[in-house]
Amino acid sequence: MNPYPKRILTIPQQLQSYTDAGMTISSVEEATVALTTIGYYRLRGYSFHLYDNASRQYRPGTDFSAILKLYHFDMELSRLLFGMATSIEVTLRARLSDALLTYRDALILMDPAVFSDKKLFWQNLSSLSSQVTRSNDVFIRHNFQNHDGEIPLWAAVEVMSFGTLSKTIKNMKTGKDSAYPVLAGYYRYRSPRGKLVKPSLQMLSSWIQSVSVLRNMCAHNSRIYNRTINTFPELLIVDQLNPRPLHNGLYQILLAMKYLRPTDESWRNFYADLQALFHKYNGSFDLSCMNFPSDWTTHLALDA
């Protein structure tokens, strides 16, 4: 095995590497605690935009305390996002169950006839089977013990992962007698002509998939700030940016979250908390690093 090319640095050496690159460390004690509790590698992600690779120097005036404050902003933002994503996920489970029960069959998830892609159906069923097997929930044990292991729809949707939930919805048939119009009816939006319309399956699936990606990032404590997020929610015409950004960031997923909001009240509460967080850390972050346009409040706020 070849030795790893980069040198292993002690905490004092990590501090020295910062100062050698032009960063100011106002409090060695604060920086030492941060490096031992957060880590050098994780914190580096919050200084990428302040570092010049050509000169290998930080911008003049870069202070470690500012990097640390940005980290704390990101952690609070992540917790706020995770809460909203979780509410969206729970609501989706309930609404998918409600929609599929239009078929009047408690075991409808086992029926390939109501899904479009048969290969994807079996893949989803395999994933669900594994998730059911791993579950220790009392209602799953009840069905194993009393119903020959048959898991009804309303129990199955509670143990499937968000990813499996997303893929199951993406694979729904969309004809007039299908369950999809019932599900889509919960997520109607106003068209440019002022009519309330249901999102297409492609549109709704793109929103759900995007929120699923963000939810997993938050659950695993991934950095959200200044991050390209490789997911592509299909935005409403009124919310599309012109020119289009080179990559997607948090802002695009926030719009998808707005479209998927469980209730208007839940979104208004989330939006108020988001504004309060931005106010708390005002001057510590750059909205453009999350793809926010100058008129973002117009798009994220609900109409009165």
pLDDT at 304 over 70: no
pLDDT at 195 over 70: yes
Average pLDDT, the chain: 93
CA distance 259 to 295: 18
pLDDT at 126 over 60: yes
- Mean pLDDT to the nearest integer, 277-299: 95
Query: Residue ranges of the alpha helices (H) in 1-160?
Result: 11-20, 28-37, 40-44, 64-100, 118-134, 138-146, 153-159
pLDDT at 3 over 70: yes
CA distance 304 to 300: 12
pLDDT value, residue 205: 98
pLDDT value, residue 241: 85
